[in-house]
Amino acid sequence: MDIISGGVCAPKGFKANGIHCGIRKNKTKRDLALIVSEKICTSAAVYTTNLVKGAPLLLDMEHLKDGKAQAVICNSGNANTCNANGLEIASDMAKLVEEYTGVKENDVIVASTGVIGQPLSLEPIKNGMKELADGLGDNSKFASEAIMTTDLAEKEIAFSFEIGGKTCKIGGIAKGSGMIHPNMATMLVFITTDVAITSQMLSKALKTDIASTFNMLSIDGDTSTNDMVTVLANGMAENPVIDKEDENFAIFAKALNSLNIWLCKKIAGDGEGATKTLECITEGADTLEAAKKVAKSVVCSSLLKAAMFGADANWGRVLCAIGYSGADVDVTKVAVKFKSPKGEILVCENGAGVDFSEEKAKEILLENEIDILVSLGDGKFGATAWGCDLTYDYVKINGDYRT
């Protein structure tokens, strides 16, 4: 499997674009994205479990009942959420895609991100559609930029791999920086692939993978109202159709997992105000559920996140997070290490502190990427969770986000 360029345009038959249509006041920031496949795709999606859902998600649930889609349109800068006419606007966005691309409105996935509760006008979207559609091409980067909100960097990746002697590709773009604590959902992630796969197997691959990738990612503990991840597969690689859990399904699932992990790390590193990417790796749990609970509890701890910002080896906060994780753990067996490119240091063993060099620990924790290694000593299961540090800037960003 190789990393390649092209993002969502890397797979055969996909084009994309992103423009500034006028939703954002800053004319240098793109705010409308479009992804289109030459052919109808099998499709799958997973949505936020927040009871307050953006209108586009409600529309998408209807559009994807048949497991088919061919295009994605997404605006940023103003979320279509908690608006009285939200469903009408979402539906009109799909109709605009049909008008300017020929893709049937029922085969359009609609997404929206930005400030929640602000009225959203269709006018700038309508006015920008011709430019958006006319510019469709190898423009994954433009689409990636157009879905960003407080993100500081676009997030796009693509991989190539082989199935049945055919070269296949998968690409993805994502937005996510704050309000991220998914539960069977994620921020906004749009994935394209030219693999031939049934919608049932595509859905199985996606839902299975999310449990160990995006659901193990947390920036600030807030589950958004607009979160979704969707995959479009147009089959243009002409591999044998994947319709069961066989070797070919396993190859595709591995590619999807590699893409999602890459995006998870990028989102974690671009958390609002973040200066460090945190990765908690647990081992020795007696169940997979316990391993996941511990890993995610650690990266979600505000106290630990603050300690990592200050490069303070306060391992007691790791133990505290393990203790309230809900996992059945024998804390007298727990060991904790901190690791970075500057080295690795043991700070806790058998649930108690050990002598260690504070100077060395500080040096390790001053790096931009920190691993928190937790050994539970109870079994053979492990898990990984991703997050970031908690900084002054997070409060600054969210103190005046709307105004």
Active site residues: 186
For residue 341, which of 306, 366, 311, 358 has the smallest C-alpha distance? 366
Residue with tokens 């689409």: 143
For residue 120, which of 142, 93, 150 has the smallest C-alpha distance? 93
Alpha helices, DSSP H, located in 79-217: 86-101, 123-134, 140-146, 199-210
Query: The tokens of 344 are what?
Result: 């690795």
Residue with tokens 């005046």: 400
Is residue 44 within 8 A of residue 36, CB to CB? The reply is no
If you ran DSSP here, which 8-state letter would residue 123 be given? H
If you ran DSSP here, which 8-state letter would residue 7 be given? G
Alpha helices, DSSP H, located in 135-246: 140-146, 199-210
What residues have CB less than 8 Å from 300, skipping those under 6 apart? 181, 218, 221, 321, 387
The Cα–Cα gap between 286 and 267 comes to 30
First to last CA, the chain: 45
For residue 184, which of 44, 45, 295, 46 has the smallest C-alpha distance? 46
